[in-house]
Amino acid sequence: MKDDRKKDLRMNITLDIQRFDPERDTEPRRQAYEVDVQPTDRVLDALMHIARHVDGTLAFRKSCAHGVCGSDAMRISGKERLACKTLIRDVAKKDGDVISIDPLNHMTVQKDLMVDQSVFLSKFRAVEPFLKPRKPLPFSSEFYQSPEDRAIIDEATKCINCGACYSACPVLDENPDFLGPAALVAAVRFVFDSRDEGLAARLDIVDQQNAVWSCDNHFECTKVCPREIKITKLINLTKRTIKKYKEGETDA
Ligand code: SF4
Ligand code: FES
């Protein structure tokens, strides 16, 4: 990470990281690493530097390094973010600043910043995130959708399953059975898909206390989503659509 041409732009900061090795630790502990960085380095660059040159035991996930795969979501300076999309200057301003790094909430820590996503992912499966066609699929041609109909579900299709919203959701602090924002975004994507049976096929799933009705409009999910999906708004739209459907005002 050293670049002598930009000496004046370098900062010496500390990453204060939650560590936990299930084979060694009974409780999480903290470990501080001093790193020499540029403000435009990403937090992921600093973590990679530590893992490659300072402490090879540090565990975290990453894959694409470009905000596409969602695998490096973590809490950086107290807020859920993607390490590959967070610049040092977003969370540290000067020499000596400390950046705290913690694993996502609401998932069991496997090691350091790596969390067990199995419950989180099982909630995706619970909403049946696949097309249930409202008419037989054409055998020899594509199942067309108008640009206008596609635009309705555009926002929900942007989800990268990073889990940031799931970690930030205060409802999950009290109710671990809540499906959570990410799974509900996946449900919304099909409820409003013009090619799908829509709400009718998913009423039993989304119209439940542990589904849309547990959302208390805290908006914490919306604040942290790296894809800027207006999650709370989509959940509220689904609540209104369910009410209209039950009152016979809409057929989906
Ligand atoms: S809705 Fe946003 S924060 Fe939640 S999993 Fe999808 S991309 Fe991540
Ligand atoms: S590593 Fe893929 S989103 Fe950051």
- Decide if pLDDT at 108 tops 80: yes
Q: pLDDT > 90: what percent of the chain?
A: 88
Q: pLDDT > 70: what percent of the chain?
A: 96
Q: What confidence score (pLDDT) does residue 170 get?
A: 98
pLDDT in tens, 211-221: 999 999 999 99
| Mean pLDDT, rounded, for 173-194 | 97
Q: Say if residues 80 and 57 touch (Cβ distance below 8 Å).
A: no
List where CATH 3.10.20.30 sits in the chain. Answer: 4-115
Q: Which residue has the tokens 């509900």?
A: 184
Q: What confidence score (pLDDT) does residue 251 get?
A: 66
pLDDT in tens, 143-160: 889 999 999 999 999 999
* CATH topology for the 118-246 domain: Fumarate Reductase Iron-sulfur Protein; Chain B, domain 2 (1.10.1060)
Judge if the beta carbon of residue 187 lies within 6 A of ligand 1: no
Distance 41 CA to ligand 2 centre (A): 15
pLDDT in tens, 31-61: 999 999 999 999 999 999 999 999 999 999 9
Q: What is the mean pLDDT of the chain?
A: 94
Q: Whose CA is nearest to atom 3 of ligand 1?
A: 225
Given the candidates 3.30.300.20, 1.10.3720.10, 3.40.640.10, 3.10.20.30, the CATH classification of the domain at 4-115 is 3.10.20.30
- Decide if pLDDT at 97 tops 70: yes
Judge if the beta carbon of residue 188 lies within 6 A of ligand 1: no
Q: What confidence score (pLDDT) does residue 245 get?
A: 92
- Tell me the pLDDT band of 1, cut-offs 50, 70 and 90: low
List where CATH 1.10.1060.10 sits in the chain. Answer: 118-246
Distance 72 CA to ligand 2 centre (A): 5
| Mean pLDDT, rounded, for 64-80 | 98
Judge if the beta carbon of residue 234 lies within 6 A of ligand 1: no
Q: Distance (Å, rounded) from C-alpha 76 to C-alpha 54?
A: 20
Q: What confidence score (pLDDT) does residue 134 get?
A: 85
Q: Say if residues 34 and 46 touch (Cβ distance below 8 Å).
A: no
Judge if the beta carbon of residue 168 lies within 6 A of ligand 1: no
Judging by beta carbons within 10 Å of its beta carbon (0-12, 13-18, 19+), is residue 229 exposed, middle or buried? buried
Which numbered atom of ligand 2 lies nearest the CA of 83? 4
Single-letter amino acid code for the residue at 23: E
Judge if the beta carbon of residue 109 lies within 6 A of ligand 1: no
CA of residue 175 relative to chain centroid, distance: 19
Beta strand spans in the chain (E): 11-19, 29-37, 73-76, 79-82, 98-102, 109-111, 114-115
Judge if the beta carbon of residue 163 lies within 6 A of ligand 2: no
